[in-house]
Each structure stands twice: as structure tokens, then as C-alpha cells.
Structure 1
Amino acid sequence: MKINIDGFVLSVIAVIGIAYIFPQWGVPGSKIPIDTISTIGVSLIFFFYGLKLSPEKLNSGIKNWKLHLLVQASTFVIFPLLVLLFRPLVQNQEQEIIWLAFFFLAALPSTVSSSVVMVSIAKGNIPAAIFNASISGIIGVLVTPLWMGLFVQNAQSDFDFTDIYTKLIVQIILPVIVGFLLQRFLGEMAQRYGKQLTLFDKSIILLIIYKSFAESFAGNVFSSVSILDIVLLLFAVVILFYTVFLLTGFLALKMRFDLEDRITAQFCGTKKSLVHGTVFSKILFSNMASIGIILLPLMLFHATQLLIISVVASKMSRNASID
């Protein structure tokens, strides 16, 4: 079976390599205004996100409340609680940062585009996938900082909910609302230029990733991280993914979902958004030197979820065709 490696994953790896070789462009005092560019870019990402929110498609998927409840519970409750179980095992500051990185991953909302695409390939409930993936990002703006606020204050003394929510409202909520209000006028154009907007989104995310890792490399944060550590992190990420995937599938069976809804529950409830993760990290951990490490499990999870779900979706699609 041929496995296609996602081009964006390769781009992330390349950007990390550039950050390692040329960290000087992303550190404070650089002549390149990466912070300003990324801040404006983030607002535009969520403005375009609002433009692409179709009221009709959201309304068609809103009625299946049991499915929505399971997906959002998996995303914002099951994931964090699983990682929270390992909190007592933390023994030192290095382990604290790694655990915090996994908890940040667990508290993030679901991704939109890949969730809907994979549900479509696997013959799942597409309107429900669109609704859940879309609403997840909005819920995440409120819930993710609340989860992180329970623990980030120990690692970052200037963690301020008022400042964080102000930034989230200005950079994310307001652009989404403006985009949604203009959807009837510009929504068709946003759909027409969807590929170009996706390229813009990914470019801004790559820019934020570069800056995060450039600062970490410049501060020698990764000096204590070995290849074995990366392998162990990848193993932990795979275990976390499969645990939630199987648990969500089990709960969907217990709730007597049909096959389409089970597919949607498992695919949407196990995804985590790299877009939201990089944006939130920029706001939540702006003064932490170890922000590169904070993003590491998320990027490993992103690559893992794309690989595993694409294989599972293709298999389900073939089985559906045979039936």
C-alpha cells in the first residue's frame, strides 16, 4: 500500500531545519518583523475562516446533538483527562515542560479541513463533521485557555487571563464574526479561492513555527532533547491517539450510533488543530523560552493523525464500495 507523505508535514520539518541553521531571523531584535506579520496573518486566517462558515451547512448538521456532545467531549474532556492522569508522575522541571506540552495538545480544538475531508473519504456524516469541526474552534477559544490556566501559571508567572482573552477576542473572535457577517457577500469568493487561502494559512503557521523554534534554538532549549526522547514522544503521541480513537468508537457503539455517525465521532473527536495550536501558543506562551518544546508533541501528533486517519479512511472507503 502506497503511503503519501503530507506536503505540509515536510514543510514543517524544513522550517524547523531553517530555524536551526538561521535562528537569528526569529529572535527578539531581528530586523524582520515576524511578530507583526504573524499577528496580522492570524487575524486574516480567522477572518477567512468566518467567510467560509456556511450557515446552511451548519444548520443541516446541528440537529444530531448526541453526536456533537460526544465529539466535543472527546476533544475537550476525554483528551485532557487522559493526559491529566500522568500529572503525578512529573518529577522535575524538564518533565513538567514535556507534560505541559502534551496537556496543551490535549486541550486544543479539532482541525476543520482534514476532519471533513477524511470523513468524506470514509463515507461518514459530512454535515455533522462540518458542524463539529467548525464549532470546535470557537469552543476552543474559550475552553483551551481555561484548561491551560490551571497549570501554566506555575511555569509562567505573568499568565493573565484578562490579557489572554483580550488577545483572543481581538485576533480570533472578532475576525471570525466579521467574516461570518460578510459571508453572504464574500463567501462565494472565499470558496472560489479556497486553495490560495489554504496556502496563506499554512504560510502564516510556518512563520509562527519558525519563530518559536528559532527562539528555542537560540536559547539552547533543545540541548537536553535526544533522538531517543523524540522517539519516545512519538510513541506517546501514537498511544494517546489510539486510546482516544478506540474509546470514542466504543462510546459511539454504546450510544447506538449508525456507521456514518461513528465514523464522524472517531474522526472529528481525535483530531487536534495545528493552526489553533500555533496561534494559541503565540498568545499563551509568548514569554516562555521553551515554546519550541511546547509545540513538539503537537507537530508529531499532527503528522501521526494525518497518516493514521488517511489509511483508516481509505480502508473504510474500500469496504463501503465492496458492500
Structure 2
Amino acid sequence: MSPQRPLKTWRPDPLITLILIALILAILAPARGDFAQGFSLATKLAIGLLFFLYGARLSPQEALQGLKHWQLHGTILALTFILFPLIGLALYPLQAVIGRELYLGLLFMTLVPSTVQSSVAFTSLAKGNVAGAIVSASTSNLAGVVLTPLLVMLLMRSDQLVISGSVFGNIAIQLLLPFILGQLLRRWVGEIARNKLTKHIDRLSIAMVVYAAFSDGIVQGIWRRISPWQILFLVVLSLLLVEFLLWLSGVLARKLGFSYGDRVAIQFCGSKKSLATGLPMAAVIFGGAQVGALILPLMIFHQVQLMVCAAKAARWGRQTHETP
């Protein structure tokens, strides 16, 4: 194989590209006044459409069949919604280093569901249990519609961040209801929802959330309080967290007697956090709060996990018969 091939076939991640464009637009032309209000409404509609598509894509039969392997899915859910939040709480002393706002963003990052697309892709590349990864990651996102706001209510209340019980009503209307409608109409819109073109809608929705959040942050002057060294600190911390969670989930999976394929699924699904689900949830849960600073740690962690997991998936795929 020619050594030039990886360079020729490499493409920038479309989602990251759109997010960078949204960031640049927010810096150059932040949303203000009536435009900001109109864009906020458009963002809410886009988030609803995003979760409608999620519901239309998920096959109930496939999910029920996969749930028979409850040990696998239970392990991944425990890593996502128990171990990760405990790590987030353990990082509390870091607020003295990165400040209260970024620490709350770091804590929120630990409360969101796992990824779906990248977890499945990396599991496939490493020759793991792809079907198990699909069901586990999808279950994580479905459970997260309830568990993430509940964990936010329990763990993130503070004098600086007031979260009312109405968040569950907002979640039900903006996220859960569209998801259920997608499931009910899946017979007629399922093929359309799975079309590659709808991925552009997913990415555009997320980019809209980023633009709205960062515009608000610029208007309120949040970013003047965040220094480059704090961002660098978050990058290094994210790298350490991804490596630690990949190692710990692998050790746990071996101790529990899972096969190689299941271990790979556990490591990739249990060590990752979803930007695609987390950002819309942040917009719904926190509303007019300072969302920009809250979503920055998740955005950084997402990019770091993609790079680290891509490298490991490729290596494990070449060493299929070895234990990761």
C-alpha cells in the first residue's frame, strides 16, 4: 500500500468543520436583538427535527432483540451514567484551576449519553460486536433523554446555575415528543430518515446550537473570562480522561468475562460522550443561561475522543486476536 494513501483519503470531519464555521460566525457576527430571538426559535425547531429523525431511525425490533444481551448494555449504561458522573464530581477541586463555569461544563459533559455513529464505526473498525454497539449506544441516548436532565437537577444546582423542574416539561416537548412521533411514523419516514442526506440536517442543527450559544456568550462577555491556557488544560484533561476510561472499561470488561467483541463495544460506547445529543440537551435544559461556557468542555472532549479512539480502533482491528 502506498504511504501516500492515508493523506489522499483523509477528510476533515464534517461536523467539526460546521462547528468551526459556527464559531467563526459567532465571533464575527453574533446574533443580537430580534435576530437572536428568531434564531433561538429556529434552533428549537431544528432540535425537534433532530430528535424526530433519531426516533425514525431506531428500529424497535432491533432494539428489543439486542436487549437480550442485557449484561453488555447494563455495563455500558453503568459506565455512562454512574461512573462518568462520579468522575465529574471527583473533579470538583479543578474549579480552583479552570473556574466555576468551565467546571460546570466539565460536569455536564460527564452526564450526557454516549455517541452512536462514532461508537459503532470504531467498534466495526476494531472488529468488535457491532450489533451490540448499535443497541447500547441507541439505548444510552434514549435513556439520556430522562437521565441527563435528572442528573443535572441532582448534581448541578448552585447559586450561579438555577435549574427549575420545568426542564422536564421542556425535555418532553422538545426532545421526547419528537422522538416518539418519529417512532410512530417510522413506517412511512424511516427510509427518508436513514438517507445520508438527512445527516446534513443533524449537523446543521448542532451547528445552530453552537452559533446561538457562542453568540450569547460573546454578547454577555463570557469569553473574555476564558484564557487560552484554560482551553489547553481542558484538552490535556480530555486526553487523560479518554485514555483512563478506555483502560478502565477494558479491565472491567475482562473481569466480567466478556468476549473480545463485547469488550470492544464496551470500551468505545462506555468511554465516549455525544456532542450530537449533548448540545441540543444543553440548549433545552439551560435555556437562557450561559450555555457557551457550559458546552465548551464537551466540544473539546468530543474532538479528543474521536482522535484517540480512531487510532486505537485501527490498531485493534489489525490485532483482532489480541486483547485490547
1:19 counterpart = 2:34? no
Match of 2:103 in 1: 99
Match of 1:306 in 2: 306
1:169 counterpart = 2:146? no
**1:150 offset after TM fit, Å?**
2.8
1:231–1:48 distance in 2 versus 1, CA, 3 Å: same
Match of 2:187 in 1: 184
Q: How far apart, in 2, do the equivalents of 1:156 and 1:279 lie?
A: 21
The one-letter code sitting in structure 2 at the alignment partner of 1:236 is L
The percentage of counterpart residues that share the same residue type is: 32
1:34 counterpart = 2:39? yes
Kept in 1: contact 2:18–2:204 (CA 8 A): no
Match of 1:246 in 2: 247
**1:110 offset after TM fit, Å?**
0.8
1:109 counterpart = 2:106? no
1:318 counterpart = 2:321? no
Q: How far apart, in 1, do the equivalents of 2:114 and 2:227 lie?
A: 29
1:196–1:87 distance in 2 versus 1, CA, 3 Å: same
Match of 1:58 among 42, 56, 63: 63
1:158–1:304 distance in 2 versus 1, CA, 3 Å: closer
1:28–1:136 distance in 2 versus 1, CA, 3 Å: farther
**1:65 offset after TM fit, Å?**
1.2
**1:47 offset after TM fit, Å?**
1.0
**1:316 offset after TM fit, Å?**
1.8
1:113–1:33 distance in 2 versus 1, CA, 3 Å: same
Q: How far apart, in 2, do the equivalents of 1:189 and 1:279 lie?
A: 22
Report the 3-state secondary structure (helix = DSSP H, G, I; strand = E; otherwise coil) of the residue aligned with 1:176: helix
**1:318 offset after TM fit, Å?**
2.1
Match of 1:69 in 2: 74
Kept in 2: contact 1:110–1:137 (CA 8 A): yes
**1:122 offset after TM fit, Å?**
1.3
Q: How far apart, in 2, do the equivalents of 1:31 and 1:247 lie?
A: 43
Query: Structure 1, residues 189-229: CA drift from partner, whole Å, max 9, x if none?
Result: 322x2x11111011011011001001111221111222211
Any stretches of 5+ residues in structure 2 without a counterpart?
A: none
**1:293 offset after TM fit, Å?**
1.2
Match of 1:275 in 2: 276
Kept in 1: contact 2:171–2:285 (CA 8 A): no
Report the 3-state secondary structure (helix = DSSP H, G, I; strand = E; otherwise coil) of the residue aligned with 1:271: coil
Kept in 1: contact 2:55–2:186 (CA 8 A): yes
Q: Which moved more, 1:297-306 or 1:50-59?
A: 50-59
Q: Which moved more, 1:56-65 or 1:3-12?
A: 3-12
Q: How far apart, in 2, do the equivalents of 1:156 and 1:224 lie?
A: 15
Report the 3-state secondary structure (helix = DSSP H, G, I; strand = E; otherwise coil) of the residue aligned with 1:107: coil
**1:155 offset after TM fit, Å?**
4.2
**1:31 offset after TM fit, Å?**
6.4
**1:67 offset after TM fit, Å?**
1.0
Match of 2:15 in 1: 8
Report the 3-state secondary structure (helix = DSSP H, G, I; strand = E; otherwise coil) of the residue aligned with 1:263: helix
Q: How far apart, in 2, do the equivalents of 1:293 and 1:31 lie?
A: 18
Kept in 2: contact 1:133–1:268 (CA 8 A): yes
Relative to the length of structure 2, the TM-score reads 0.91
The one-letter code sitting in structure 2 at the alignment partner of 1:177 is I
**1:89 offset after TM fit, Å?**
5.1
Kept in 1: contact 2:51–2:179 (CA 8 A): yes
Question: How many residues in Structure 1 have an aligned counterpart in Structure 2?
Answer: 316
Q: How far apart, in 1, do the equivalents of 2:36 and 2:26 lie?
A: 16
Report the 3-state secondary structure (helix = DSSP H, G, I; strand = E; otherwise coil) of the residue aligned with 1:251: helix
Q: How far apart, in 2, do the equivalents of 1:32 and 1:285 lie?
A: 16
Query: Structure 1, residues 270-317: CA drift from partner, whole Å, max 9, x if none?
Result: 1111122111111222222x3211111111111111111111111122
Q: How far apart, in 1, do the equivalents of 2:161 and 2:22 lie?
A: 30
Relative to the length of structure 1, the TM-score reads 0.91
The one-letter code sitting in structure 1 at the alignment partner of 2:254 is L
Query: Structure 1, residues 117-155: CA drift from partner, whole Å, max 9, x if none?
Result: 211121111111111111111111111112211343314
Any stretches of 5+ residues in structure 1 without a counterpart?
A: none
**1:69 offset after TM fit, Å?**
1.1
Q: How far apart, in 2, do the equivalents of 1:149 and 1:116 lie?
A: 30
Query: Structure 1, residues 232-257: CA drift from partner, whole Å, max 9, x if none?
Result: 11011111112211111110000011
